[in-house]
Amino acid sequence: MNEREKMQNGLPYDATDKELLSDRTRCKDFCLEYNKTSFKNRNKMNNILKKILGKTGTNFWIEPAFYCDYGYNIEIGENFYSNHNLVILDCARVKFGNNVFIGPNCGIYTASHPIDSKERNTGLEHAKPIKIGNNVWIGGNVCILPGVTIGDNCVIGAGSVVTKDIPSNKIAIGNPCKIYKEISGEQT
């Protein structure tokens, strides 16, 4: 199993592997091109995003600046919108459903490092996937940590640090993020 396969399967992997470095360099170059493209040229910007991301819907928009590690591990559904300064560390799969809205300055991190400093200093790390359901609104300055699933029809309050799964139909807030209340009624 190569380092990319280890990374995508949640096993410890060497982040300094030449193939992974090449993949990150390619992605960072595309992110730089995207962030430097004139806002007047939205078609060009979306075409660059299609080169970066593993899968997209047809209707999506990410406000610059946008940064990610690999891009090919990110899947966005229909009607995806992110405000400025989205950072996705996509060492593992990051899947967004349809109608996801993300506020400014959010970080979505699949990557993690060993607690033990000797092990951490070897360059090994691991990653856990993140899944965000349909009809989710993520407020500004939210941080979503490795392995988290956020269910359908959720609202994550601004400034929250999401360390654990949030079931569907919930408003969740805080650091650490906790369920505040149930969202009742028919959701569309």
Q: Which residues are catalytic?
A: 113
State the pairing for strand pair 13-14/74-75: unpaired
Number of H helices, E strands in the chain: 4, 19
**In 3-state terms, what secondary structure has residue 176?**
coil
- Radius of gyration of the CA atoms of the chain, in A: 17
**Angle of CA points 57, 60, 66, to nearest 5°:** 115
Spatial neighbors of 99 by CB under 8 A, at least 6 apart, are 77, 78, 79, 80, 134, 135, 136
Tell the residue number behind the tokens 């990051």, with chain if given.
94
In order of 92, 103, 145, the CA distances from 109 in angstroms are 9, 16, 5
Question: Residue 35, CB half-sphere, CA atoms under 13 Å: how many?
Answer: 16
Q: Which two tokens stand for residue 74?
A: 């990110």
Q: Which two tokens stand for residue 7?
A: 């990374």
